[in-house]
Amino acid sequence: MTASLAPHSVENSLTKTSLEQLLVLLGKQKPSVTENNSIEFEHRRIVTGKTLYSSGESFENLYLVFSGFLKLSNIDAEGNERITDFPMKSDLLGIDGICEQHYHLQAVALTECNLIVIPFRKVVCALQETPTFEEYLYRAISRSLVREQSSKTLMNLLSAEARLARFLILLSERYEALGFSSTCYILRMTRQEIGSYLGMTIETVSRCLTALAQAALIKVEQRNITLLNKRALRTLQRLPLLHKNNGKDKISKLEKQIIV
Amino acid sequence: MTASLAPHSVENSLTKTSLEQLLVLLGKQKPSVTENNSIEFEHRRIVTGKTLYSSGESFENLYLVFSGFLKLSNIDAEGNERITDFPMKSDLLGIDGICEQHYHLQAVALTECNLIVIPFRKVVCALQETPTFEEYLYRAISRSLVREQSSKTLMNLLSAEARLARFLILLSERYEALGFSSTCYILRMTRQEIGSYLGMTIETVSRCLTALAQAALIKVEQRNITLLNKRALRTLQRLPLLHKNNGKDKISKLEKQIIV
DNA sequence: CGGATCGTTGATACTTGTCAAAGTACGTGG
DNA sequence: CCACGTACTTTGACAAGTATCAACGATCCG
């Protein structure tokens, strides 16, 4: 049972995208009739493992993910990688470059990627007579901020198990929003990368996955994840850190809650 | 020895701000001559403890902090507060409201505050012929995102001591950027609020402050903080979690590094 | 068939949360 | 002005969670 419905599959053929299509990806609901559709955006493809942009590089473009899966990370002075996000379809990349005209982070493809290129300066100037574009650009940027804040907020003070449960649920919701299966998907990143993102060691990631699987909340087959009990996962992700019981008790207690 | 130079002091008298002044606060370097200066922005004052906006409230304005000190937080379903930022002068508030037209977070004044009101929809439409405004607005929003990401990145996988050291250094840098003393300032928030922000308990905050003080890296007098050894603090904030020595060894080792 | 990267599992030690209690600042009302 | 209550802070003893270290298993690729 492979998660063949996961993103990064078809629709890799496009090489140009109209403004209207771009707005829909940015979150626009109903297609407008009168929109300026003469403007087209180039695409850029990168293969697995390649870098889209690096920290310090001068900022020129925003990128909207059309297909594929990436990681966004920070390399500190000692060379340690700290992952801040895993962008996927419809996510906007490169916002971190606007403020100082050079990118702060590094974006690397975890699968083959097809990205819509948005030349920022040109576009913002040229499209100011197209208010909807501006509006959705603002919204997309704001959404990134909200997501960062809420993930930051929730990562701390939650146990490793809770954070991992939350991570799996959030991934599931993102897949669902894109029209893919929300219960069965492929992790496109290594355990190491999950650990970097969630702020825990690779061993802890592994142990927590095992624990969740033993409690029959998920099924783990290498990077293939099946969510078996989303309700329990949701409950788990809200448990504050450190209850009086150990892991097994916690989960069996959870089981009871669910049966009731 | 009180930190009388800390922000939130003078300059509380203004009630209107020109576009040019606003751009300078947003980070503009050299004043332009030809800028449209006829536009003026209203101010809003709130007293200590009052709420500027709450989660869920419909979004209308961005606010630029002119003076004072606030906290930005998230109240979860169980009523726990999770603080995501402590905005101060020149910080932009309310960005979290753009994406869904209602605020996601709650903003509360920690001191008396004087805020410049930016009616978002009106202003973005009306000022699109003023490219510099747009540009600096984008920059400010991007800067918020970068700050969120980097703080998120650094909070995890660092020890409580390191996070607290980082917190104190970052505060110091923000005060310095505003022209205030970078070595002596007043914490405007409780230990509880620091703990919520850094993802640790109030007891841990207290113990770490004591430890840093005993190592003579800082001086603590209630909420009055003096940084005695910034170099050591900077070193400490980059130490990865969990070395083989205990806290005291860590600091004395640090001391040696510094003496050398 | 190696070699390398990735993932799992176990034993141990350290950090930090939890619980409990006492100390300090601050404002209100007598 | 002092007593008192409340909120804030500090400190200690203990327990729980997770990092570290080490070894092994699995998968992938040349």
Question: Of B148, B170, B204, which residue is a domain's last?
Answer: B148
Does B20 share its domain with B141? Answer: yes
Whole-angstrom Cα distance, residue B153 to residue A196? 9
Q: Is residue B4 part of a domain?
A: no
Does B29 share its domain with B142? Answer: yes
The nearest alpha carbon in chain B to A27 belongs to B99
Alpha carbons within 13 angstroms on the beta-carbon side of residue A65 total 27
Does B119 share its domain with B59? Answer: yes
Q: What is the pLDDT of residue B256?
A: 45
Fill in the DSSP letter of residue A53: E
Does A128 share its domain with A180? Answer: no
Residue from A26, A134, A146, A241 to probe the interface with B (highest B Cβ count within 10 Å): A146
Identify whether the C-beta of residue B68 lies closer than 8 Å to the C-beta of residue A144.
Answer: no
pTM: 0.84
Question: Of B96, B131, B148, which residue is a domain's last?
Answer: B148
The nearest alpha carbon in chain A to B99 belongs to A139
Identify whether the C-beta of residue A201 lies closer than 8 Å to the C-beta of residue A163.
Answer: no
Does A82 share its domain with A143? Answer: yes
Higher-pLDDT residue of A258 and A81 is: A81
Coil, helix or strand at residue B83: strand
Q: What is the pLDDT of residue A45?
A: 93
Q: Is residue B50 part of a domain?
A: yes
Q: Is residue A1 part of a domain?
A: no
Identify whether the C-beta of residue A178 lies closer than 8 Å to the C-beta of residue A8.
Answer: no
- Highest-confidence segment of A96-100, A127-131, A179-183, A206-210: A206-210
Identify whether the C-beta of residue B63 lies closer than 8 Å to the C-beta of residue B94.
Answer: yes
Whole-angstrom Cα distance, residue B94 to residue B139? 15
Indicate which CATH number applies to the domain containing B14: 2.60.120.10
Q: Is residue B29 part of a domain?
A: yes
Does B137 share its domain with B246? Answer: no
Place of tokens 């979690």: B241
Distance of CA B56 to the CA centre of its chain: 22
B168: alpha, beta or left? (left if phi > 0; alpha if psi -120 to 50): alpha
Does A45 share its domain with A131? Answer: yes
Nearest to B92 by CA among B121, B117, B59: B117
Q: What is the pLDDT of residues A232-248, one digit of tens each?
A: 999 887 765 433 333 34
Structure tokens at B86: 């402590």
Q: Is residue A3 part of a domain?
A: no
Does B144 share its domain with B161? Answer: no
Whole-angstrom Cα distance, residue B201 to residue B181? 28
Residue B113 has pLDDT above 70, yes or no: yes
Q: Is residue B1 part of a domain?
A: no
B92 touches strand C (CB under 7 A): no
Report residue B203's pLDDT band, with 50, 70 and 90 as the boundaries. very high
Domain that holds residue B105: 10-148
Mean pLDDT of all residues in B106-119: 95
Indicate which CATH number applies to the domain containing B237: 1.10.10.10
Q: How many contacts, defined by CB atoms under 8 Å, are there between A and B?
A: 129
Q: What is the pLDDT of residue A13?
A: 60
Q: Is residue A26 part of a domain?
A: yes
Nearest to B225 by CA among B179, B164, B178: B164
Does A135 share its domain with A17? Answer: yes
Does A133 share its domain with A47? Answer: yes
Residue B91 has pLDDT above 60, yes or no: yes
> Which positions of strand C lie within 7 Å of protein CB atoms?
6-11, 14-20, 25-26
Nearest to A124 by CA among A70, A184, A174, A61: A61
Enumerate the residues of chain A whose CB falls inside 8 A of the CB of residue B153. Answer: 74, 82, 84
Cα-based distances in Å from A66 to A10, A113, A164, A197: 11, 8, 27, 23
Does B143 share its domain with B176? Answer: no
- Highest-confidence segment of B47-56, B130-139, B150-159: B47-56
Whole-angstrom Cα distance, residue A252 to residue A235? 13
Whole-angstrom Cα distance, residue A165 to residue A36? 43
Q: Is residue B5 part of a domain?
A: no
Residue A156 has pLDDT above 60, yes or no: yes
Beta-strand pair A106-109/A81-85 = unpaired
B115 burial via Cβ count (<10 Å: 0-12, 13-18, 19+): buried
Question: Of A96, A128, A148, which residue is a domain's last?
Answer: A148
Residue A3 has pLDDT above 80, yes or no: no
Whole-angstrom Cα distance, residue A152 to residue A84? 9
Fill in the DSSP letter of residue B163: H
What φ, ψ does residue A223 adopt, rounded to 5°?
-95, 10
Does A131 share its domain with A163? Answer: no
**Structural domain count of chain B:** 2
Q: What is the pLDDT of residues A161-197, one digit of tens each?
A: 999 999 999 999 999 998 999 999 999 999 999 999 9
What φ, ψ does residue A75 adopt, rounded to 5°?
-105, 120
